[in-house]
């Protein structure tokens, strides 16, 4: 039996919505098949008010063991470091988070806000929001760069806006059944099993990327052309399995004709949402993508791109969905 406590900070609740839609395993399967006891969840817990306060105090007193502490949303430090913009159970949420993280065996940050601050942390950041152990790309965050849980791991980051439910449930199962040592983390403390490959892996339009054939407008993305060169798709640059582990087992952003927004990378949201940067590929001299996946110099990249486009087969420029 592994105990799980899930708390919610400054965020939209999207990761909870994702989690509650999990299928294989479902949330019920976590309890019945994997022996996970959910001590409390803000959207699924039965306890209220004083009951929640009593539960949290018993956990901090170690009368109730806490194996996995899951946090969703930013840690809100405002105003002026007091945390009183986000009160919970009679105290600033940040105080509960700090103390619970230090008694839990493992700490899991679910979603971008908990991992690195996300959109709430975009300047001027009036709520003084930050992530558990990162602030954007800088390690540190609320708990500090040297934080390690009692189980010997730093915060396990499961990014996404929101995170896919499979990423969440599989990490919880691994921790619950004693396989924490199998969870290998990258430099941003993301599980490598999900975040080693790129979102482009499995994209149904990867052939258009190779031939440098672009979709020029929304709607073409499901029919012809790559979304990277004009519409700001970050699939070739984003570590995520969205086209291997499909949403609802059916689709992904690229498969629906929408650019990958790169939400699992710790610099998200890109360019701090500056006007003219959303759904638009940033270019050098209006021609070459600033963030090229090609490792050579810009001139070599341009030569490669021109050659690929000239050599593109006829079908690459045609609408393949003909009725």
Using CA atoms, how far apart are residues 223 and 204, in angstroms rounded to an integer?
10
Please, how many CA atoms are within 13 Å of residue 168, restricted to the half-sphere of its CB? 30
Dig out the tokens for 107 from the structure: 């700490």
Distance CA 245, CA 254 (A): 13
Q: Is 113 annotated as a binding residue?
A: yes
> Are the C-beta atoms of residues 167 and 175 closer than 8 Å to each other?
no
Within 8 A by CB and 6+ apart from 286, the residues are: none
Task: Extract the runs of DSSP E, i.e. beta strands, from the chain.
Answer: 2-8, 36-40, 68-72, 75-76, 87-88, 91-92, 106-110, 129-130, 134-135, 138-139, 156-158, 283-284, 288-289
DSSP state of 286: T
- Any known ligand binding at 28? no
CA angle 153, 201, 318 (to 5 degrees): 160
CB 73 within 8 A of CB 11: yes
Q: Is 12 annotated as a binding residue?
A: yes
Q: Do 93 and 7 touch, CB atoms closer than 8 A?
A: yes
Find out whether the peptide bond into 124 is cis, omega within 30 degrees of 0. Answer: yes
Task: State the Cα–Cα distance between residues 228 and 214, nearest whole angstrom.
Answer: 7
Residue 226 known to bind ligand: yes
d(CA 179, CA 158): 17
Contact 113, 72 (CB under 8 A): yes
203 is in an annotated binding site: yes
Q: Which tokens go with 141?
A: 């965050």
115 is in an annotated binding site: no
Q: In what helix (H) or strand (E) does residue 230 lie, and over which residues does it extend? A: none
Q: Assign residue 274 a region: left if phi > 0, alpha if psi is -120 to 50, beta otherwise?
A: beta
The answer on whether 242 is annotated among ligand-binding residues is yes
Binding-site residues for [3Fe-4S] cluster, in ranges, read 242, 260, 263
Which amino acids are annotated as binding site, given as ranges?
Answer: 12, 113, 161, 203, 226, 233, 242, 260, 263
Binding positions for [4Fe-4S] cluster are 12, 113, 161, 203, 226, 233
């Amino acid at each position: 039996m592994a105990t799980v406590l899930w708390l919610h900070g400054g965020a939209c609740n999207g990761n909870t919505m994702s989690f509650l839609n999990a299928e294989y395993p479902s949330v019920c399967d976590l309890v019945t098949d994997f022996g996970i006891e959910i001590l409390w969840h803000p959207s699924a817990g039965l306890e209220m008010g004083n009951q929640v306060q009593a539960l949290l105090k018993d956990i901090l007193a170690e009368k109730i063991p806490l194996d996995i502490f899951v946090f969703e949303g930013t840690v809100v430090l405002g105003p002026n470091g007091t945390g009183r913009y986000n009160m919970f159970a009679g105290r600033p949420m940040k105080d509960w988070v700090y103390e619970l993280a230090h008694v839990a065996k493992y700490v899991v940050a679910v979603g971008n806000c908990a991992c690195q601050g996300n959109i709430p942390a975009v300047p001027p950041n009036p709520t003084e929001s930050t992530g558990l152990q990162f602030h954007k790309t800088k390690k540190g965050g609320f708990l500090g760069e040297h934080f390690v849980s009692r189980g010997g791991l730093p915060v396990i980051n499961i990014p996404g806006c929101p995170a896919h439910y499979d990423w969440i449930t599989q990490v919880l199962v691994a921790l619950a059944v004693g396989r924490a040592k199998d969870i290998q983390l990258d430099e941003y403390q993301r599980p490598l099993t999900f975040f080693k490959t790129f979102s482009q892996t499995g994209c149904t339009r990867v052939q258009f990327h190779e031939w440098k054939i672009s979709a020029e407008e929304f709607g073409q993305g499901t029919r012809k052309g790559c979304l990277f060169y004009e519409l700001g798709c970050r699939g070739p640059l984003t570590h995520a399995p969205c086209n291997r582990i499909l949403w609802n087992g059916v689709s992904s952003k690229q498969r629906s004709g929408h650019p990958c927004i790169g939400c699992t990378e710790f610099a998200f949201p890109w360019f701090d949402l500056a006007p003219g940067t959303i759904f638009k590929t940033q270019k050098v001299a209006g021609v070459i993508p600033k963030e090229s996946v090609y490792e050579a110099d810009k001139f070599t990249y341009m030569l490669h791109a021109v050659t690929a486009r000239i050599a593109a087969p006829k079908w690459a420029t045609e609408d393949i969905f003909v009725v």
